[in-house]
Amino acid sequence: MSAAQGIGIGERQTLEDPQHDRGSTAPSQPGRRRLTPYLLLLPGMAWLTIFFIVPLVTLLSTSTQTRPDGAEIGVYTQTWRFANYTDTLDEYLTVFGRSFFYALIATVLALAISYPLAYAIAFKSGRWRNLLLVLVVAPFFVSFLLRTIAWKQILADQAWVADALRTVHLLGPDGRIINTAPAVVIGITYNFLPFMILPIYASLERVDPRLMEAAGDLYASALTTLRKVTIPLSLPGVVAGTLLTFIPAAGDYINSALLGNRDTTMVGNVIDSRFLRVVDYPTAAVLSVSLMLSILLLVAIYIRRSGTEELV
């Protein structure tokens, strides 16, 4: 969770460098000093290179492979068939659109739930603040899958939520919530909430309350203060929170698998089944590469437009 805060806070690139300054006073071993950062980096970066970067390259290479005629299931050779991309995306364009659409709605909902809550914790909670922060994270100590299965029970046809909605005629007599698109969106919204709440809280906490008082002294109404002072100052947290919610949401397939139906299939579901059940590696690879690239592109545009480039 504090990772979320870390990203929200951003990195001070112009960090003072006491070790470096001191380096000049210890000229006896300049060679060792210059090597130290590389030695520190070596094992971790090697791990990430072998098990993150190389796999991405493997994935790229898999995405243009084809199955030779008469070969066994699961055997593919490199033929540089870039038409794999157009074929696959043609077939799964709606699934792609749906994933991003669900992720977008879930992110907006999560923001609407999280901002007032983070605001209340930052400014209205007094000495209960730390306890409330623990309570924000606490639900996520319960296994992610079991929480989603709990939603399956909550939204079930015979459960009280559906009953209540039927009584007030928001839901038809045969209407249901479970196994529908709204159920999937509810599940996604819930699952990534702390990733939204914590960064927003971290940046709200650093807003000087005197700035808000000053706005009030200058005859700004509570709403104007919020709009002109508080929200702009907390924007880095909002940007970090929306990214940390949107990215996992767009790739999620658990909620769709447990709470949705055949028409709520997301990209994640297709990648999962192509890879693990159909053994159609090229298609799964094409979808993975496209998902990752489109997310990175969206993130880059979003960060550029919201003017918080120091985020990365």
- Binding to another protein by CB under 8 A, coded x per residue (else -) over 290-309, reads -xx--xx--x----------
Nearest 5°: phi and psi at 65? -85, 160
Q: Which of 105, 111, 117, 220 binds another protein (CB under 8 A)?
A: 117
Choose one: 175-183, 204-212, 230-238, 245-253; the region binding another protein (CB under 8 A). Answer: 245-253
Assess 150 for contact with another protein (CB under 8 A).
Answer: yes
160 binds another protein (CB under 8 A): no
Note whether 108 binds another protein by CB under 8 A.
no
Shortest Å distance, C-beta 283 to another protein? 11
Residue 288 in the binding site for another protein (CB under 8 A)? yes
Residues between 246 and 265 with contacts to another protein, criterion CB under 8 A: 247-248, 250-254, 258
Candidate segments 110-118, 171-179, 208-216, 228-236, binder of another protein by CB under 8 A: 110-118
List the x/- string, 75-104, binding to another protein by CB under 8 A. ------------------------------
3-state secondary structure the chain: CHHHHHHHHCCCCCCCCHHHHHHCCCCCCHHHHHHHHHHHHHHHHHHHHHHHHHHHHHHHHHCCEECCCCCCCCCCEECCCCHHHHHHHHHHHHHHHHHHHHHHHHHHHHHHHHHHHHHHHHHCCHHHHHHHHHHHHHHHHCCHHHHHHHHHHHCCCCCHHHHHHHHCCCCCCCCCCCCCHHHHHHHHHHHCHHHHHHHHHHHHHCCCHHHHHHHHHCCCCHHHHHHHHHHHHCHHHHHHHHHHHHHHHHHCCHHHHHHCCHHHCCHHHHHHHHHHCCCCHHHHHHHHHHHHHHHHHHHHHHHHHHCCHHHC
Nearest to 268 by CA among 243, 288, 246: 288
**Interface with another protein, residue 164, by CB under 8 A:** no
Cα–Cα distance between 122 and 115 in angstroms, integer?
Answer: 10
Residues 119-148 touching another protein, rule: CB under 8 A, are 119-121, 124, 130-132, 134-147
Q: CB of residue 171 vs another protein: minimum separation in angstroms? A: 18
Total of residues contacting another protein (CB under 8 A): 97
Tell whether residue 18 is a contact of another protein (CB under 8 A).
yes
- Give the residue with the Cβ less far from another protein, 1 or 235: 1
CA–CA gap between residue 144 and residue 227 (Å, rounded): 35
Residue 81 vs 124, nearer CB to another protein: 124
Q: Which of 89, 95, 154, 231 binds another protein (CB under 8 A)?
A: 154
Question: Which residues share a beta bridge with 78?
Answer: 65
Give the residue, chosen from 31, 43, 172, 173, that forms a contact with another protein under the rule CB under 8 A.
43
Residue 16 neighbours by CB under 8 Å, 6+ apart = none
Least distance (Å) between residue 196 CB and another protein: 11
- Using CB under 8 A, which of 158, 218, 262, 277 touches another protein? 158
Q: Does 116 bind another protein (CB under 8 A)?
A: yes
- Name the one range near another protein by CB under 8 A: 34-42, 86-94, 174-182, 209-217: 34-42
